[in-house]
Amino acid sequence: MNKIFNTIILLTLLSFHSFSQDCDAIVKACKANLNANNGTFLSDGQIYTAFLDREKAEFKTTFFGGSTYRISASAGTEDNFVIFTIKDLNGKIIFTNKNYKNSPYWDFKVPTTIPVIIETELDLDKKITGCAVMLIGFKQ
């Protein structure tokens, strides 16, 4: 009985370690997108990570008026696996990268301060489960 319990714990720890390594590589890809195409965006310091399995993750933040932001999202080596949708607090869609072939990043100039909800999900036509990472950067 003790051997079975130890084996289960070992397998669980190995799967978490593997998940962590996969997410770490995806974080690096997201960070690279903050500076893609001559962008000079500074991360807000948060790494928004979710393990998705045919579901959505939701993150709340505030965009401050007069600022330019870049959202970067990835779920692996192919950058177009993640769909991100920005909504106001009433659920009205402000932007979705789904209309732009799931672009891995997008820039926003915000005229007034607004609290938002950002939903991330995997494009189920391309990937059904995995680590999804999102970074938010602001123009320096």
Average pLDDT, the chain: 83
Q: Where are the domains of the chain?
A: 2-139
Token pair for residue 58? Answer: 């939701």
Contact 138, 67 (CB under 8 A): yes
Token pair for residue 126? Answer: 């391309």
Q: What is the pLDDT of residues 65-105, one digit of tens each?
A: 999 999 999 988 666 789 999 999 999 999 999 999 999 99
Q: State residue 36's pLDDT score.
A: 79
Structural element, H or E, at residue 93: strand 93-96
pTM: 0.79
Nearest residue to 71 (alpha-carbon basis) of 5, 139, 135, 2: 135
Q: State residue 13's pLDDT score.
A: 35
Q: State residue 138's pLDDT score.
A: 93
Taking domain 2-139, whether its CATH number is 3.30.870.10 is answered by no
